[in-house]
């Protein structure tokens, strides 16, 4: 590709146009509307191209070398992502004088049908291969086939036992009752035979159901574990596109839906088909004409089912989304219940949840109403053949062309014919619901993780040498958080990262831990790109204490041990002492065995943070990351922990972000971020002497501290 193009649809006055913004290998930028050139310039003239989200539209702005700005184009919000990719190409050229091809991204519209894709999904629910999805679901059953197949055969056998009853009824009527030649013993024998056939069928059915249900539970559990395992391997970028409620529903409820379909829908589908074929053969050999009357309504019902299927699965997909939304809201409300109560927002949250559940109830009611209308109509048309058989069969009996016993047998077998047909009328409902869940599960299983292990990783010993080389990154391509970051950290150095809120401090930490990968540039440890390392090896050598401390429901001992499961009790205690947590632990009811509840709700914020520090320390990592590690501590406790941290950081590379800048004064160097770029770097004293951004931050914090002390 000799040039990269961005198609925009608004002119500078917000009027609809067909515009084109192009950038070629020579660094030339050209804007044209209807093939008429509007503007030309070179990338050498600008320092940065950026996308600005506006109200109802987006803008591409070129910031020139002389600090002036030029508006290149306007566009509707649907082109926001493409605009971001266009700016990335220009900015990379401005920094390196190299032209690179942009990353390819899937369109938000389905390439096949042109319909919008469901947010958080890469599969079009209108165009996916339904037979392929079913085949894949069946392929996952293979490990359980040794139980499922015999159970299915026994289920069919139990149904075949029931089919003996109409045969015995015909013999009883035609051979014994009608001619009045049967004896009591003969009639009793036939009655016992019918009873035994029915009883044996019930016994076989019970045994079959027990085996089938056990196997189907194992099958759904297998899929659930596959989905959970895959979610654990997905990158933060992938996970952030989905809500917690969405993920929980996929792992728990969708797998349960699949299990219900397999254990009920799939099992009965096979059984009903076998019964249908056997009864059809019996009827066709008994009386072909009456058999034709039985199946007369089937084509009408089949056509209706095919049309019904076209929209019913879309309806259930909408119901799935409404359910997922309600669950996400519920998850957030329960997780943040303390915040909700502290701000007195209970009624607001009640209304929010009521609105979501109301929407779910509405779509569910509409689906049920649709089903309640269509199901009786289709079952009615299906049963028309029964009336035809009685009418024409009665004429045959009166004409002497048919025995009464055969007509009774026919009417009894009609039940076995129409029961599968009526069951298949309801099958699309089950299938639509199950197919939606299958697609959701398989979409997770098929997603390629952004961050994955490579075949031959370079797992070099991590000694603490770390470098950022031209790193640019944004959670959205058109909103870069870090821009062209370059710096080196020597083994054993302590580096402090400083900057205003939103400057990119935590983003830098996320990149070091490889929770995300840079859009441009690379991060190396000991000269090796961390992309070439196995993620597990990287994380084993990095200890981290996040600003938002998270503890698992369980004991204090287990939470510290989480970072190093094979650690000895003495190591756990040593880590707790280093984090100044041992004393408060021993004051709890059960010491290290004290259960602290979900996210440590039974202990204070400062105590939670000390446990998090102990959890990071026990790994004895080569690189230690402190992301606001003392933010929840009072001044006295922070001073004690700071002394502990000063001992811990010796001999290991430490990267620290701190809210209180005074805690970073002992850092070997400080990096000051401003608008995603390194604005200043140096020691605490050097930066104060510069009287720049860092100096202003320190002065502002000191002023705030004095105000607090006075009050």
Q: What are the sequence ranges of the domains in the chain?
A: 3-96, 131-446, 457-533+639-711, 542-620
Residue 98 tokens read as: 């190299």
Strands 466-473 and 482-489: antiparallel
For 542-620, CATH number out of 2.40.110.10, 3.40.50.2300, 3.40.50.300, 3.50.50.60 equals 3.40.50.300
Q: Rounded to a whole number, what is the largest CA-CA distance in the chain?
A: 122
Same fold for the pair 131-446 and 457-533+639-711: no
The DSSP code sequence of 367-408 is: HHHHHHHHHHHHHHHHTHHHHHHHHHHHHHHHHTSS-HHHHH
Residue 469 tokens read as: 């080389």
pLDDT of 106 reads 43
Gap between the Cα atoms of 75 and 83, Å rounded = 9
pLDDT of 121 reads 59
Query: Is the CATH number of domain 3-96 2.30.29.30?
Result: yes
pTM: 0.63
DSSP 253: I
For 457-533+639-711, CATH number out of 3.90.1150.10, 3.40.50.300, 3.40.50.740, 1.10.10.10 equals 3.40.50.300
pLDDT of 200 reads 85
Residue 504 tokens read as: 């990119």
Q: Can you tell me whether residue 249 is helix, strand or coil?
A: helix
pLDDT of 426 reads 65
Burial (CB count within 10 angstroms: exposed 0-12, middle 13-18, buried 19+), residue 544:
buried
Residue 471 tokens read as: 């790193």
For 651-665, the pLDDT digits (tens) are 788 888 876 776 777
Q: Is the sign of the CA dihedral 426, 431, 436, 438 positive or negative?
A: positive
Tokens 């440590």 identify what position? 600
Question: 50 has which bridge partners?
Answer: 61
The DSSP code sequence of 279-311 is: HHHHHHHH-HHHHHHHTTTHHHHHHHHHHHHHH
- CATH second-level architecture of 131-446? Up-down Bundle (1.20)
Gap between the Cα atoms of 73 and 62, Å rounded = 10
- Which residue ranges in the chain fall short of pLDDT 50? 104-107, 707-711
pLDDT of 474 reads 81
For 539-583, the pLDDT digits (tens) are 888 888 877 777 887 888 888 888 888 888 898 888 888 888 888
């Amino acid at each position: 590709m000799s040039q990269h193009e961005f198609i925009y649809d608004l002119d500078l006055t917000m009027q609809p146009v067909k515009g084109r913004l192009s950038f070629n290998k020579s660094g030339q930028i050209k804007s044209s509307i209807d093939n008429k050139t509007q503007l030309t310039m070179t990338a050498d003239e600008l320092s940065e191209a950026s996308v600005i989200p506006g109200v109802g539209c987006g803008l591409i702005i070129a910031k020139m070398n002389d600090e002036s700005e030029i508006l290149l184009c306007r566009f509707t919000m649907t082109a926001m992502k493409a605009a971001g990719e266009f700016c990335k190409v220009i900015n990379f050229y401005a920094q390196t004088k190299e032209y690179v091809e942009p990353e390819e991204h899937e369109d938000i519209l389905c390439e096949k049908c042109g319909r919008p894709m469901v947010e958080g999904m890469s599969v079009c629910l209108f165009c996916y291969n339904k037979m392929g999805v079913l085949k894949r679901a069946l392929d996952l059953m293979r490990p359980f086939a040794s139980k499922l197949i015999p159970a299915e055969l026994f289920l069919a056998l139990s149904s075949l036992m029931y089919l003996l009853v109409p045969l015995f009824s015909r013999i009883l009527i035609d051979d014994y009752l009608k001619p009045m030649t049967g004896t009591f013993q003969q009639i009793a024998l036939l009655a016992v035979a019918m009873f035994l056939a029915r009883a044996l069928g019930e016994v076989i059915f019970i045994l079959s159901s027990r085996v089938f249900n056990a196997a189907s539970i194992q099958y759904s559990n297998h899929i659930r574990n596959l989905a959970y395992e895959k979610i654990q391997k997905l990158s933060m970028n992938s996970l952030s596109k989905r809500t917690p409620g969405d993920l929980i529903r996929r792992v728990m409820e969708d797998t349960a839906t699949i299990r219900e379909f397999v254990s009920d829908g799939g099992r009965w589908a096979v059984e009903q088909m076998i019964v249908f074929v056997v009864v059809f053969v019996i009827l066709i050999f008994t009386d072909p004409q009456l058999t034709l009357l039985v199946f007369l309504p089937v084509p009408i019902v089949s056509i209706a089912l095919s049309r019904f299927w076209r929209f019913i699965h879309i309806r259930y997909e909408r119901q799935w989304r409404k359910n997922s939304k309600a669950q996400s809201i519920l998850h957030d409300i329960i997780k943040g219940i303390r915040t909700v109560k502290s701000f007195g927002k209970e009624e607001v949250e009640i209304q929010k949840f009521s609105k979501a559940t109301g929407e779910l109830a509405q779509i569910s009611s509409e689906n049920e109403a649709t089903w309640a209308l269509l199901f009786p109509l289709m079952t009615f048309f299906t049963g028309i053949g029964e009336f035809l058989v009685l009418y024409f069969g009665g004429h045959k009996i009166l004409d002497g062309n048919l025995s009464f016993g055969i007509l009774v047998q026919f009417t009894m077998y009609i039940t076995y014919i129409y029961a599968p047909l009526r069951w298949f009328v309801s099958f699309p409902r089950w299938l639509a619901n199950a197919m939606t869940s299958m697609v959701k599960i398989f979409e997770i299983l098929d997603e390629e993780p952004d961050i994955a292990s490579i075949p031959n990783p370079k797992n070099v010993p991590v000694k603490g040498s770390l470098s950022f080389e031209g790193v640019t990154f944004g959670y959205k391509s058109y909103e870069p958080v870090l821009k062209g970051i370059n710096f080196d950290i020597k083994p054993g150095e302590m580096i402090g990262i400083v900057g205003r809120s939103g400057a990119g401090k935590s983003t830098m930490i996320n990149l070091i831990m490889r929770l995300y990968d840079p859009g441009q540039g690379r991060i190396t440890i000991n000269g090796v790109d961390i992309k070439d390392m196995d993620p597990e090896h990287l994380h084993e050598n990095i200890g981290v204490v996040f600003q938002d401390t998270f503890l698992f429901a369980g004991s204090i001992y287990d939470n510290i041990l989480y970072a190093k499961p094979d650690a000895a009790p003495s190591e756990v205690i040593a880590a707790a002492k280093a984090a100044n947590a041992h004393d408060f632990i021993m004051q709890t009811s059960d010491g290290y065995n004290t259960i602290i509840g979900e996210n440590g709700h039974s202990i204070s914020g400062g105590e939670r943070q000390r446990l998090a520090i102990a959890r990071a320390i026990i790994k004895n990592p080569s690189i230690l990351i402190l992301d606001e590690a003392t933010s929840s501590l009072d001044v006295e406790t922070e001073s004690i922990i700071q002394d502990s941290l000063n001992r811990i950081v010796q001999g290991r590379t430490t990267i620290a972000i701190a809210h209180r800048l005074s805690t970073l004064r002992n850092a070997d160097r400080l990096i000051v971020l401003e608008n995603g770029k390194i604005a200043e770097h140096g020691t605490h004293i050097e930066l104060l002497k510069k009287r720049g951004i860092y100096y202003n931050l320190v002065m502002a914090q000191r002023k705030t501290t004095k105000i607090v002390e006075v009050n």
